[in-house]
Structure 1
Amino acid sequence: MKILDKKLNEFFGGKVVRKDLTKLVKGDAIVPIYVLEYLLGQYCATDDEETITQGVETVKSILAKHFVHRDEAQIIKSTVREKGSHRIIDKVSVRLNDRKDQYEATFANLGLSKVPIADDIIREHQKLLSSGVWCILTLAYISTDERDSLPWVIESLKPIQIASGDLDEYKEGRKQFTKEEWIDILLQTMGLNPDEFTFRSKLLQLTRLVPFVENNYNLIELGPKGTGKSHIFSELSPHGMLISGGEVSKAKLFVNNSSGEIGLVGYWDVVAYDEFAGKTKTTDRGLVDIMKNYMANKSFSRGTQVYGASASMVFVGNTDHSVPYMLRHSNLFDALPKDYYDTAFLDRIHAYLPGWEVQKLCNDMFTSDYGFIVDYLAEILKEQRKEDRTNEYNQFFELSDSITTRDKTAIIKTYAGLSKVIFPDGNIAETDAKELLDFAIECRKRVKQQLQKMDETFEAVDFSYINRKTGKKVSIETLEVIEYLNDEQKDILLSNSAENTDNSKVEKSKIKTLSNGQRIILDNQTGISYENLFGDYLAGANSITLIDPYIRLPYQLRNFMEFAKLLSEKKNKENELRLHLITNNNEDFIEGAREAFSQITYSLETIGIIFTYEFDENIHDRSIKIDNGWKIVLGRGLDIWQKTGGWYDINEYIQEKRLCKACEVTFIYDEG
């Protein structure tokens, strides 16, 4: 067991579960993860292997005997009739039959409807009146001769969710973990392997939790297929409802005028719209108008009454074009249906998550380590909705006066939500607050930039802030603008002052002459290659020393060969170039490295590069030393990219298409 898993079990014993167990027990049951983990939490919330094995078998048995599969509904009905009563797991929704003055339940998988249910159960669990809740219940069969009377009786019912979570205990436990550990725990809770994600990529995933901790938070995420945009909203929490964008109506979402029943926003903390994008989709324009009012004012009117609600709104969908194409020919809202392609509606969006930065999910990205039982975390997040952290950033920073009230509200809600998720105890340092504020500003600026492209009446806004301690002004730019500025994906963007460590300024033109300076590369940035990063500095060199302690794994050797290829293109054709590598190694890899370097030596000799190498266990810094006087300090060595999808991923072959890891590259000229 990993150290972090042991630590998590130590401080949150009974509230965590091994995340690969859900696959072991799920079988062909079409049921949310929170239902499975509810059961696993009853029997497998431990690190004892024997108990886990027994618990998994118990949960499998419960699902086999009590979970209702649609194709086995008649068998379950027969079992209830023969036994008199039987415990089942099904999704139940309830409606009031005003003619009979009674509540009636409908079972999603069992296929039963109009089954009477006691008023007391409804008073205790009002969410049953919405679109359905997964429940464990005892269903009885009592034959009757009464006309129009059903034999089915609900004897007892319990929604599948933990009744409450102790927020104070949760906050106290958080103090035992570093920021990095806590973020990894949350990623594992979401079923993801944190080792496969950069800090920015982790932040993108955690922002999907903000609607669960912030009331009336409006989030949109558009991007390619297969990135798990809707997964969290259907699987993580019993307080979230995922609906198809095409199934939305005024009555379903807000209130049914004919019956007076409140819609989804009255019962759920989060209402998410799946497959929201699609230009050809038809939409009720009246629904859009009601949503605009609700998203701005937390209230809606139907008929003569005004209702208030706290549900957050999430919109997820697929983009039709690449980001450079949208930035050049349209905008980042390009894929939305016509009636939602409305600047007044989109201005209510608090944050736009760049779905194109989220990696497509593959097997390596899922974890088999421990995380919180998702139902436990869901209850904690619900409790946190009562807290107001929107002014927390004020102790460190002051937002620009030019930022409008709507922009400011959006920024501070995103900041507050992330702060609750990552720092639930409120113990946040200035550097950590800065990371969250920068990201929150970027998410809102992405919305505002597109609105300005769509409607010229939206004025430009200075998305900056002042550090109260230093008085330094920090301006924020979105990553896609940094990458594709002036539609030149290969532009070289250099810092031109110390302020640029905050990514506040970027050079907009290509470098014409070599100069000292520093290049800041951001998490998930694309458009970076060895050529446009430092290719000009290598031109005409005769001798180069590369110091990089990590040239051993296959992808690191690939990076090295790509570096050598660049050298072959930059050197004088008639001259040989000497390339010396100083690296580190250990017993597990050293023999393989010697063999690889031996083959590399013969290979590079054919293109005029004389390759030598040495192992030095004391090196740590990474750099390229060139005999023309330049030294390039590499923050991460040659390892500047995230993992690709392998042979069948075009990113494996085009450096500019790969997602980067955050790092710094410094150019120093030594005249001596």
Structure 2
Amino acid sequence: MSDLDSKINEHFAGFVVRKDLVKAVKGNAIVPTYVLEYLLGQYCATDDEATIQAGIEIVKDILRKHYVHRSEAGLIQSTIRERGRYKVIDQISVSLNEKTDSYEAVFENLGIKKVAVDSNTVKAHPKLLVTGVWCIADVQYEFTEEARVSPWILESIKPIQIAKVDYEQYRDVRRAFTSDEWIDLLMQSIGFRPEAFGRRSKLLQLLRLIPFVERNYNLIELGPKGTGKSHVYSEFSPHGQLISGGEVTIPKLFVNNSNGRIGLVGYWDVVAFDEFAGREKTANKALVDIMKNYMANKSFSRGINPMGAEASFSFVGNTDHNVPYMLKNSDLFEALPRQFHDSAFIDRLHAYLPGWEIDVIRGEMFTKGYGFIVDYLAEILRHLRSEDFSNRVHQFFKVSEKISERDRTAISKTMSGLLKLIFPDGSQTDAEVEELLRLAMESRKRVKDQLARIDSTYPEVDFHYIGSDGFKRGVTTVEEEEYPQFYHTRGAADPEGHEEVPIEPAVAPSPHDTKERVVPTTVSVLPASKIAPALAEGHFVYAENRKGVSYDKLFGDYLDGASLIVVTDPYIRLFYQIRNMMEFVEMMIRRKPPEDQVKIHLVTAPDEGNVSRQRELLDSITAACTGSVVEFSWAFDTSGTAHARDIVTDTGWKIVLDRGLDIFQSPIKTEGFSLGDRLQDHRVIKGFYVTYVKLAAETSKTIDPAAGEQWGR
């Protein structure tokens, strides 16, 4: 086990399970993950391997004997008849037969109907009246000569959900974990291997959970196929219901006027609409109007009396085009059905999760580590729905007063949800709050910016917040930075496709100065073609998960004309890091005329324990450059003083990088047949910054590459 897995088992013994066990027991059983983990939690919630293996066999035996496969329904019916009574695991729904004034159950897989149910069972589990609920049930068979009486009787029923959760214990134990450890624990709890995701990608995955922890929260996620958009709503919680967008009706969703019975919004914490996108799809106008009213006011009305509910809505669907195409030709909501491509509906969405930033789900992304039994976590999140954490932001930051009340509410609800998920104990720092606040504001800004495209009556909105230092910090979306030439519709970008933003020094405001000061955290929106055509000094921040960035665009113009380039990066150690160095060399070979020559010298640190392999790979670059326009050399900084990561040229340019050359996320493994693997422009980046500094002439001097000497420091 990893250190994190050991820590998880130490503090949450009995409430966690090894996530790869689900596959080990599932077989061909078509059951949600929370059903399987409920059973695994009864027998495998331990780190003792022998107990786990014994528990797996017990769970397999339970599924083999009691889970009803549709193909074996007849055999199970016969077993119930012969034994008189038998326990089954099935999806059960109940309806009232008005002719006989009795409740009758339907067993989805077992294929039996008109199963007698007593009133007390229905009162104890009212969700059975709305939709199917997975249950462990005792079914009896008593044949009678009376044709109108069904022989099937539901003797007892137990919905599959954990009985009791100690929230105070959960909150107290949270303090034993760092923020990064807790986020990784949540990632493992939903089945993913944290190491396969960057920081922003992890937060986007957790954004999908906010509807479970926040009442009346409206989230939309549109993106490519295969990114697991509906997984969390169908597999994660017994309190969420996933329905196809084409199956929605007013009686099913809100209220049936014929009998006054409330629909899905009255019984479920989350109602998710799968396959919601599709321009060719149509929707009932009356349904859209009721949905808009409910999303805005938490209530709906059919008939005389208005009714309220707390269910959150999640809309998930596939996009037909990539982001630049949508921004150039329409908007990021272009895939919605015509009736929902409406400014009033869109304005009621609290957050737009950019599905195009989510990787296609691959085998190596699933975890083998420990995470919460999903039903346990689902109960915790349900408990948190009654709390409000949005006021915690005010201790550190003030959201712009210029945004509308609807924008403010959206940001507050997203912030409250993220804080409940990551900091239920209130241990957040100002830096951690700022990170989440930027994500919350960006998620709402994405909605508002597209509304300006769809409806010209929407005013421009300046999304920013002010810190305790009195400085104003602007917020942008990733696609705004990546495609400024298409994103802005009101003259925000200049004809060259980029906007220069001056860097202001971080000077504390005078107590007598009431003027707003601006310190942009993202200092420039850069064009896709050139990073710095004028070779200007400057500081640039790149948001995680964007594309269109390459070494050539970052460094090329600043390295032209240089005959000596020194790269200082102590982390050119592992194979992929050394490959980055090789790609840097390849970039220079492509840019240099064949008659020119340039020396590239790398100063790095030894990879303790694997230094021979590191030497071999670095020497391979030296050998590969023989006879080319590049002469490559390298040296270890044995003094241990080379902590900075930068590139310095003999033409007087110094390029400072917080991540060195390690700016790209791992590409999708497709045996080389991936654009992200072959072309840097198509690779997803990590978050990083780059600073261009022009050195004074007297600080530049030649160096001896063999000595590893550096200059201009």
Q: Is the TM-score greater than 0.5?
A: yes
Query: Aligned with 2:602: secondary structure?
Result: strand
Contact 1:538 1:570 (C-alpha < 8 Å) held by counterparts: no
Shift of 1:183: 0.3
Is 1:286 the counterpart of 2:286 in the alignment? yes
Q: Determine the structure 1 residue equivalent to 2:556.
A: 535
For 1:144, give the aligned amino acid: T
Structure 1: where are the runs of 5+ without partners? none
Q: Distance in 1 between matches of 2:73 and 2:400?
A: 61
Distance 1:491 1:25, change over 3 A: farther
Residue type of the partner of 1:372? F
SS of alignment partner, residue 440 of structure 1: helix
1:306 shift after superposition: 1.3
Alignment partner, residue 379 of structure 1: 379
Structure-1 residue corresponding to 2:3: 3
Deviates more, 1:630-639 or 1:230-239: 630-639
CA distance 1:603–1:510, change in 2 (3 Å): closer
Partner of residue 620, structure 1: 643
State the Cα deviation string for residues 219-275 of structure 1 (Å, max 9, x = none). Answer: 000000011111000000000000111111111101111222211001000000000
Letter in 1 for 2:521: D
Are 2:471 and 1:472 aligned?
Answer: yes
Equivalent position amino acid for 2:74 in 1: Q
The residue type equivalent to 2:64 in the other structure is A
Where 1:316 maps in the other structure, the secondary structure is strand
Aligned counterpart, 1:546:
567
Which residue identity is paired with 2:502? N
Q: Which residue of 2 aligns with 1:497?
A: 503
SS at match of 2:371: strand
* SS of equivalent residue, structure 1 residue 605: coil
Aligned pair partner of 1:630 in 636, 649, 653: 653
- Matched residue SS, 1:281: coil
Q: What CA distance in whole angstroms lies between the structure 1 residues aligned with 2:571 and 2:610?
A: 11
Distance in 2 (CA, whole Å) between partners of 1:542 and 1:154 is 84
Shift of 1:590: 2.7
In the alignment, what sits opposite 1:192? 192
Identity %: 53
* 1:26-85 deviation per Cα after TM superposition (whole angstroms, max 9, x unaligned): 000000000000000000001111110100110000000000000000000011111111
Q: Does 1:559 align with 2:580?
A: yes
Pick one of 685, 705, 711 that aligns with 1:660: 685
Give the CA deviation at 1:597.
2.8
| TM-score normalized with structure 2 length | 0.92
Taking a change above 3 Å as real, the CA distance of residues 41 and 495 of structure 1, as seen in their structure-2 partners, is farther
Aligned length: 671
Q: Which amino acid aligns with 2:634?
A: Y
The corresponding residue for 1:607 is 628
Extract structure 1 runs of 4+ deviating beyond 4 A. 488-495, 498-501, 507-510
Letter of the 1:514 partner, please give it: L
487-496 vs 390-399, which moves further? 487-496
**Alignment check: 8 A CA contact 2:578 2:618 kept:** no
**For 1:309-458, what aligned pairs fall within 5 Å after superposition?**
309-458=309-458
Matches within 5 A, 1:6-155: 6-155=6-155
Amino acid at match of 1:477: T
The answer to whether the Cα contact below 8 Å between 2:573 and 2:607 also exists between their aligned partners in 1 is no
Q: Name the residue aligned to 2:673.
A: 648
The answer to whether the 8 A contact 1:474-1:504 is kept is no
Matched-pair contact (CA < 8 Å) for 2:333–2:450: yes
Matched AA of 2:682: K
Deviation at 1:2, TM superposition (A): 0.7
Q: Give the aligned partner of residue 484 of structure 1.
A: 483
Residue pair 2:499, 2:524 contacting (<8 A) in 1 also: no
Contact 1:495 1:517 in 2 (8 A): no
Secondary structure of the 2:539 match is strand
1:208 aligns with 2:214: no
The verdict on how the C-alpha distance between 1:502 and 1:197 changes in structure 2, with shifts beyond 3 A counting, is: same
Residue 504 to residue 546, structure 1, CA distance change in 2 (3 Å)? closer
Q: What secondary structure does 2:692 align onto? A: strand
Structure 2 Cα separation of the partners of residues 69 and 546 of structure 1: 62
Higher mean displacement: 186-195 or 508-517: 508-517
Q: Please tell me whether the aligned partners of residues 541 and 571 of structure 1 are also in contact (alpha carbons under 8 angstroms).
A: no
Helix, strand or coil: the match of 2:390? coil
- Kindly indicate whether the alpha-carbon contact (under 8 Å) linking 1:542 and 1:571 is maintained by their aligned counterparts in 2: no
Query: Counterpart of 1:598 in 2: which secondary structure?
Result: helix
Using the TM superposition, name which of 480-489 and 67-76 deviates more: 480-489
Contact 2:532 2:557 in 1 (8 A): no
Q: How does 1:585-596 map to 2 (within 5 A)?
A: 585-586=606-607, 588-596=609-617
Q: What amino acid is the match of 1:93?
A: S
Instruction: Give SS of 1:339's match.
Output: coil
Q: Normalising by the residue count of structure 1, what TM-score does the alignment of the two structures yield? A: 0.97
Deviation at 1:596, TM superposition (A): 2.6
Instruction: Give, in angstroms, the shift of residue 505 of structure 1.
Output: 5.2
Equivalent-residue separation in structure 2 for 1:282 and 1:491 (angstroms): 38
